[in-house]
């Protein structure tokens, strides 16, 4: 009985909330700037939580139909992560990268210095089991007169928790491209006032790409590691469509000798 009452009250509250927002949407054009600014802040706060629910639901419901499991990890892997962009739908699937920075969901951004602004980025739905992830990221480059084009990915706090110079960091990607593009992956690790930046060239052949970084050669201060991010740097990408079907980052300690 108590369960049915709670269910009824929850449904009633939800209907009232939906009704309130429907009325606010109808009258938003008539509000003054102070009221509209407060309403916008409240709506953005609610949308962040709703987007989180939708992203988790989309990822969990999509994964079985696309066989989107993580790739086989090397022995000893102690952390593995697939970013949200490749796991669930974004609230805004695409954008024209007209400025030097274009955010693509939480912790992912495209950077470039091209004055033409002829770059389109959008999340796409993968449809093949070999794509591994439910979603991918398409980067369509038309005219390009800049010096750099890169996708930056902030690694979560768990990536640097307990990170040592004896770790190997690995980035695995599935990339489709309609022409050959030279690409490099750079791992950035902020430790104190310094940033270690080991670079790995991506193989041009095949769609499965792997970049691995041995931190023993990164001149790293283990005790002062603060954060880390990954850059995928694309060279000579004009008139090219690049689709990053999957991206998985992992780490493992090097075997003791």
Domains within the chain, CATH numbers bracketed: 2-65 (no CATH), 71-253 (2.60.120.260)
CB 66 within 8 A of CB 131: yes
Distance from chain centroid for Cα 142:
23
Q: Where are the beta strands (DSSP E) in 75-207?
A: 79-81, 94-96, 101-103, 108-112, 119-125, 135-141, 149-154, 167-177, 182-191, 194-196, 199-201
Model confidence pLDDT, tens digit, residues 237-252: 889 999 999 999 999 9
Longest CA span, the chain: 72
- Whether 174 has a pLDDT exceeding 90, the answer reads yes
In this prediction, residue 139 has a pLDDT band, given cuts at 50, 70 and 90, of: very high
CB 107 within 8 A of CB 154: yes
Q: Which two tokens stand for residue 31?
A: 């509000």
- Whether 37 has a pLDDT exceeding 60, the answer reads yes
DSSP string for 197-243? --EEEPPSSSSEEEEEEEGGGS---GGGEEEEEEEEEEES-TTEEEE
Report how far residue 93's alpha carbon sits from residue 68's, in angstroms, rounded to the nearest whole number: 20
- Whole-number pLDDT of residue 233: 96
- Whether 161 has a pLDDT exceeding 90, the answer reads yes
- Whole-number pLDDT of residue 45: 80
Average pLDDT over residues 112-129: 89
Average pLDDT over residues 167-172: 96
Q: Which two tokens stand for residue 153?
A: 């990915």
For the whole model, what pTM was predicted? 0.74
Q: What is the average pLDDT score of the chain? A: 87
Average pLDDT over residues 166-173: 95
Closest CA to 108 of 122, 118, 98, 119: 122
Report how far residue 195's alpha carbon sits from residue 229's, in angstroms, rounded to the nearest whole number: 10
Report how far residue 257's alpha carbon sits from residue 253's, in angstroms, rounded to the nearest whole number: 12
Average pLDDT over residues 56-68: 56
- Whole-number pLDDT of residue 128: 85
């Amino acid at each position: 009985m108590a369960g049915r009452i709670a269910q009824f009250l929850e449904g009633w509250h939800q209907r009232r909330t939906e009704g309130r927002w429907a009325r606010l949407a109808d009258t938003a054009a008539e509000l003054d700037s102070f009221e509209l600014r407060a309403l916008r802040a409240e709506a953005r706060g609610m949308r962040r939580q709703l987007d989180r629910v939708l992203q988790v639901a989309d990822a969990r419901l999509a994964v079985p139909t696309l066989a989107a499991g993580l790739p086989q990890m090397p022995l000893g892997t102690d952390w593995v992560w697939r970013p949200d962009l490749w796991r669930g739908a974004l609230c805004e699937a695409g954008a024209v990268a007209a400025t030097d920075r274009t955010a693509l969901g939480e912790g992912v951004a495209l950077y470039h210095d091209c004055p033409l602004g002829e770059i389109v980025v959008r999340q796409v739905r993968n449809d093949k089991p070999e794509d591994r992830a439910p979603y991918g990221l398409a980067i369509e480059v038309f005219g390009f007169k800049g010096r750099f084009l890169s996708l930056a990915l902030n690694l979560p706090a768990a990536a640097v928790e307990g990170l040592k110079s004896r770790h190997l960091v690995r980035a695995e990607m599935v990339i489709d491209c309609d022409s050959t593009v030279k690409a490099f992956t750079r791992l950035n690790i902020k430790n104190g006032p310094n940033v270690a930046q080991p670079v790995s060239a991506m193989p041009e052949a095949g769609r499965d790409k792997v970049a691995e970084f041995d931190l023993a050669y990164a001149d790293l201060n283990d005790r002062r590691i603060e954060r880390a991010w990954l850059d995928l740097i694309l060279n000579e990408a004009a008139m090219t469509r690049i689709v990053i079907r999957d991206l998985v980052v992992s780490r493992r300690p090097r075997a003791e000798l």
